[in-house]
């Protein structure tokens, strides 16, 4: 990279923003720790989701844009779209897309998940991914920061909104991928079936082999038959500060 090009790129960063290396295709992402930074849950979802050659994907509540950017690097999908409600977050995600010169492969759209099917039209995508808010209403401490509150709590959309719109947006036999918390698993499964997103794969994520799971990865198939495959558990740490080989592989280290 030439010095002039480097200076031009640096001017795209706003105060308090930073560039993080994604360890995939040389891609980097813009983040602001005072707003919201992507976590391991988004990365694990990208490792779990499958996007086939020629497929079109929509990421609901894309935040930093991490999921479309990583999946563009990892898969042969034709096109990726990220939908984000907050204009500041959508702008940051769009600048990350531009930084990596992915404008022809990834679109970042500012809009409401609750109106997604009206915006894009029914049966518009082959794959949907989402890392939605885990907490119901004010369950837990609601952060004052709007971006963090939207990421963690069902402030602007509910699980019902996400599943309803996903069912409308997917083509028949389209696939739905979500990361969530195990404490809501019964509710999630019931609502997925209610909206015709038949659960097909599930993987529980454990921080350590002797701890309770703290994440669940799910795949649903629109209009699929009732048959669920429970994959082997994914363990994050061998010991404190040391990832398992599976996690290193997902991160691309």
What residue has token string 């679109």?
Answer: 107
Q: Report the distance separating Cα 200 and Cα 119, nearest Å.
A: 28
Residue at token pair 């930074």: 37
Report how far apart, in Å, the C-alpha atoms of 202 and of each of 40, 180, 207, 230 are.
17, 11, 17, 5
What length does the chain have?
Answer: 253
pTM exceeding the 0.85 threshold for the entire prediction:
yes
What is the residue extent of each domain of the chain?
A: 3-251
Could you read off the pLDDT of 78-128 as tens digits, one per residue? Answer: 999 999 999 999 999 999 999 999 999 999 999 999 999 999 999 999 999
Q: Which residues, 6+ apart, have CB-to-CB distance to 117 below 8 Å?
A: 165, 168, 169
Quick: pLDDT tens for 7-61: 344 447 888 889 999 989 999 999 998 877 899 999 999 999 999 999 999 999 9
SS3 content of the chain, % helix, strand, coil (to 5): 35, 30, 40
For 3-251, CATH number out of 3.40.1440.60, 1.10.3720.10, 3.20.20.60, 3.40.50.150 equals 3.40.50.150
* Per-residue model confidence (pLDDT) at position 79: 98
DSSP 50-90: ---TT-EEEEET-TTTHHHHHHHHHS--SEEEEEESSHHHH
Q: What angle do CA 177, 50, 38 make, to 5 degrees?
A: 60
Torsion sign across C-alpha atoms 11, 15, 21, 24: negative
User: Whose CA is closest to 198, among 231, 178, 227, 237?
Assistant: 227
């Amino acid at each position: 990279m030439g010095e002039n090009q480097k200076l031009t790129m640096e001017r795209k960063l706003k105060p308090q923003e930073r560039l993080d290396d994604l360890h995939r295709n040389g891609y980097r992402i813009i983040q602001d720790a005072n707003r919201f930074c992507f976590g391991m849950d988004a990365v694990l979802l990208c490792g779990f989701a499958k996007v086939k050659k020629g497929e079109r994907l929509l990421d609901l509540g894309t935040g930093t844009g991490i999921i479309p950017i990583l999946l563009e690097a990892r898969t042969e999908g034709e096109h990726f779209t990220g939908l984000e409600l907050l204009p500041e977050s959508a702008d940051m995600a769009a600048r990350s897309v531009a930084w990596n010169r992915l404008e022809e492969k990834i679109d970042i759209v500012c809009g409401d998940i609750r109106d997604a099917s009206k915006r894009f039209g029914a049966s518009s995508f082959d794959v949907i991914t989402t890392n939605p808010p885990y907490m119901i209403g004010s369950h837990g401490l609601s952060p004052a920061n709007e971006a963090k509150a939207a990421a963690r709590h069902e402030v602007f959309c509910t699980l019902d909104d996400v599943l309803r719109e996903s069912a409308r947006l997917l083509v028949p036999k389209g696939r739905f991928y979500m990361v969530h918390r195990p404490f809501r698993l019964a509710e999630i499964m019931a609502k997925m079936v209610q909206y015709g997103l038949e659960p097909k794969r599930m993987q529980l994520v454990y921080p350590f082999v002797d701890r309770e799971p703290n994440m669940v990865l799910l795949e649903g198939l629109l209009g699929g038959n009732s048959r669920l495959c429970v994959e082997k558990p994914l363990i994050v740490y061998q010991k404190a500060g040391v990832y398992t080989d599976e996690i290193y592989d997902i991160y691309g280290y």
